[in-house]
Structure 1
């Protein structure tokens, strides 16, 4: 490909970014080619607009949102403990039927590296130390396999769940290699689509793009809301259309208990004829650092659905309770969503430019005047990102679904030694859940007081506790207990 040096230089001049070529004369030929390649792939007009809009919005004094917030109405708040056994059975049936018809896909948000875990590879490749030593990717793949079998057992049709894995520049190659080396964990290779979200330049506080080294622009993934631009650009929407996908479950890679293509959740959304749905968990306490789903109604409007960050809610609002004693704003967001493909198409083609960018002040490595890369001790620039849930405002048919928190939510974010969301807490959450599976199926677990039970049930054996009765009913188990 011919690299137009004159054209790029003109573009940089026009957009006030000529400093990106300041080390040009000192670069080797391959470094020059690399830098030019990066510059050619920056949409400077879009970047200018993005930075200016974000800067302008950051300068606006935030208006208290509390007085406009309304809790999710009960008729739009489903859940394992909120619906009857008969309704839950109907939701499960609808979800499994959609899977058997090949109408369901999963989008996995997997752009993050395991930096906070102390590793230099994608989070999905991480093992929390279960007896099987399975990684997050393997656990998720096996849940998909089991769910496909359950759908076939129920309806006689073996529909494939397409698995779209959104990676970043930092994680795509490693993820592709990992899946290939493990033969896609038994999944059909053609049903696993690994694609890449766009990287965005990082800026200093004056709007200049930061150079990380003399020949490398500092960049970062554009947040999980970069999904919508990537779905269009990477032709994932086209793939969904060609494969008859109607319903999509989007979730993060770092929740070890996530139920891939959860048939109860999907069936609930189908039954309610939703175009967008959100899985939530009850907050552990009023001050838990999670955003909450609510209706924001200003100036007599019909209101829009929104995730309001905990930092935007006054303490007295967070403490408010309903007549039954539960928190008024209790729908904790866990990055677990349902979309119809029609809704995704509308968002990606009509509304992506309407989604706001959010500023995150970060410590971004930069190059000094001598060409050396410096790692700053305090924030020196900004990364910009979009949030996946900012599309809720465009949904006309929206509701939430609440599972049992300890059954489905155990995020992995920090290395051991932190107070929460560590490999140890994630591993213990699996052990506790699987011990409950055995108890629910009629087995008995011998526990020594104060001892952590070790119990692991392969996802290939049971997706959510089903199918264990013949193996465990009337039997006694003690730690460690492995069922595979």
Structure 2
């Protein structure tokens, strides 16, 4: 009661001390701090701001324990003295010799009481020096994985209610382990509790603050953690980089929620999960996963205009069955509910494909259909003949727009589309790594590739041309071009770029084929020729074993079935 009344009726102690010091001409100020890391951003930033408002030329120094030195160096223009014997939570004293050098010594700052005015108004900004950007390299974290940073404990001496139950953490790690491309990196100071999951890299107690923030900045798709010092330092870091910060709260009247201001990092997305009944056990693992891997603005396109002729199957290739399910069903199992899927058919298989999906009640998904165009074949004299065929996957851009689906996707909030081929049984239309990399790199097109090997001679390969990436089909290679990576057939495009390509004319590639006992020239457009028009194209490697299982002919079936059984 007295504390509440004193806040209302007595002068602000900080302002009173500062004004008194200013009247005497003092400017050297020492503050002691032996509490938490998070308070540097949440309270001490505002105290420093207030000091400079009242004493503009103030020389501000903090005396603190050694493990807070890096944090205080992120306050602009502040000096730090290390007290080597201080331990958190224990009484401390300032050497009289040190105190004598300052005009004002504040031994027990109280941000909670002294700078309450700043909540909802002041955005703390923690200084980031570019020299720290390279610190993550020491840990050799592969960019082929999606990294999720985790702090399993708030690591405070009070408030165990701040911590998510260990059973929830274990469930989260077990479920992330099933995503072969996802790894977890543990942050913090203590080394317990232990976890045995193979997808975990435990860096607790092994990084400095700057090393940890460098890893978060350059590798982490997201952070999952309770109200803690690490959450505050990451949230208020004055640097621009994409990050999903999933914070867990039993009581929202604390930390960054109580501060109630946006992060200075405009690319940071804060996803607070507040427990019912002040019990963090009520926050589910599903809720965390939904925040880590949001798919609200992503749509999928499936290229399925071909027939199953080479599989000895009379009908759309997507209806070919393996292990009791059609290729369409295998693909639709990977689609999240509520996200739009557009399937490109051709006049050869459109009616049968649509009828199949109607029979299956569209698998409960939001599915749309559009047809690619047909073009005339040419005879050996390069003259058109009556026979026609699909004009290649490069027609997807114009056909998609012609069907009005670009407008449909935009109205559904889609800004990124993934494109997959029906023949790749392991295609992942909503692969978090593909989506994360596309957004992080700000690429018009993000290409998924696999390591090239001798068996890939009939596949397209990735080539570097200046600072751009291009894909060459096997028919266009001259045998001398060096390549390391093969094209897996999966690309993520921004929807604006995808729509722009509907207005562009892609080159036609002619290949001689035998159709119905007659040799003809067939012209096709390739989807990856769109890269020529892109400002930024990027690629990344994924494991062949989990991302690429093409069913091109009957000779592929046995090996694909074996791999399906191995993956369970």
Coarse TM-score class (shorter-chain normalised): 0.5 to 0.7
- Structure 1 residues 404 and 295, CA, compared in 2 at 3 Å: closer, same or farther? same
- Structure 1 residues 400 and 384, CA, compared in 2 at 3 Å: closer, same or farther? same
**2:92: which partner in 1?**
none
In structure 1, how many angstroms separate the alpha carbons of the residues matched to 2:306 and 2:334? 22
**1:443: which partner in 2?**
none
Deviation of the 1:414 alpha carbon: 0.4
**1:333: which partner in 2?**
487
Indicate if the aligned counterparts of 1:88 and 1:264 stay in contact, CA closer than 8 A: no
The superposition leaves residues 404-434 of structure 1 with CA deviations (integer Å, 9 ceiling, x where unpaired) of 110111000102xx3xxx2222211211222
Say yes or no: does 1:108 pair with 2:302: yes
In structure 2, how many angstroms separate the alpha carbons of the residues matched to 1:408 and 1:427? 14
Say yes or no: does 1:169 pair with 2:347: yes
Deviation of the 1:338 alpha carbon: 0.5
- Structure 1 residues 385 and 265, CA, compared in 2 at 3 Å: closer, same or farther? same
Indicate if the aligned counterparts of 1:203 and 1:382 stay in contact, CA closer than 8 A: yes
Choose which of 128, 132, 145 in structure 2 pairs with 1:80: 145
Structure with the bigger RCO (C-alpha within 8 Å, sep 6+) is 1
Say yes or no: does 1:193 pair with 2:398: no
Say yes or no: does 1:125 pair with 2:279: no
Deviation of the 1:83 alpha carbon: 9.5
Indicate if the aligned counterparts of 2:370 and 2:403 stay in contact, CA closer than 8 A: yes
**1:466: which partner in 2?**
none
**1:382: which partner in 2?**
521
Deviation of the 1:89 alpha carbon: 4.8
Gaps of 5+ in 2: 1-136, 147-180, 186-218, 223-241, 245-268, 270-288
Choose which of 417, 420, 427 in structure 1 pairs with 2:561: 427
In structure 1, how many angstroms separate the alpha carbons of the residues matched to 2:455 and 2:355? 43
Q: Secondary structure at the match of 1:293?
A: strand
TM-score by length of 1: 0.57
Choose which of 408, 431, 456 in structure 2 pairs with 1:262: 431
Gaps of 5+ in 1: 1-73, 149-159, 212-217, 298-302, 319-328, 366-374, 435-484
Say yes or no: does 1:184 pair with 2:376: no
Choose which of 546, 553, 562 in structure 2 pairs with 1:414: 553
In structure 1, how many angstroms separate the alpha carbons of the residues matched to 2:143 and 2:331? 25
Q: CA RMSD in A?
A: 2.9
**1:357: which partner in 2?**
508
- Structure 1 residues 362 and 409, CA, compared in 2 at 3 Å: closer, same or farther? same
Deviation of the 1:98 alpha carbon: 9.2
Say yes or no: does 1:345 pair with 2:481: no
Q: Please identify the structure whose Cα radius of gyration is greater.
A: 2
Q: Secondary structure at the match of 2:413?
A: coil
Q: What does residue range 245-324 of structure 1 map to in structure 2 within 5 Å?
A: 245-285=414-454, 288-297=457-466, 303-310=467-474, 312-313=476-477, 315=479, 317-318=481-482
Q: Which moved more, 1:111-120 or 1:307-316?
A: 307-316
